[in-house]
Structure 1
Amino acid sequence: MRIVFLGSHTESKKVLLLSIARILASAYSVRIYSACRYGYDEDHGDVYDFCGTEVRQFHNGEQLEQLLQTNPCDYALIDTELALNAGRDVKLVSLLKAERSAFEHTVEQTRALLQQYPYTDIHIIYYDIYEYCRVSPGFLEKLYYRRMYDAVNVTWNHVLYFEEGNAAAFMESLYEEKLHIRRFSPVWKAQVLNILNSLTGIELKQLKECLKKAERMK
Structure 2
Amino acid sequence: MLQIVEDYVVRTDRGRDMLKAIAAAIAKLFKTSVGALRWAEDLVFSPFRAIFGSGGAAMPRPDFEPGMTSSELLDEFEAARRQAAVHDLNRDGISTVMRYAKALPDARPTMDLSSLNPDVRVTLLSMDEAELRALEQSGIGAVRKFVAGEDHGVFGVPVVGSVKESTEKHELSAEEKWKIRSIMLKSEGASSEFKLAL
Interval containing the TM-score (normalised by the shorter chain): under 0.3
The two structures have a TM-score, normalised by structure 1, of 0.20
More helix by share: 2
Name the one with the larger strand percent: 1
Task: Considering Cα pairs closer than 8 Å and 6+ residues apart, tell me whether 1 or 2 has the greater RCO.
Answer: 1
Task: Give the TM-score normalised by structure 2.
Answer: 0.21
Which has more radius of gyration? 2
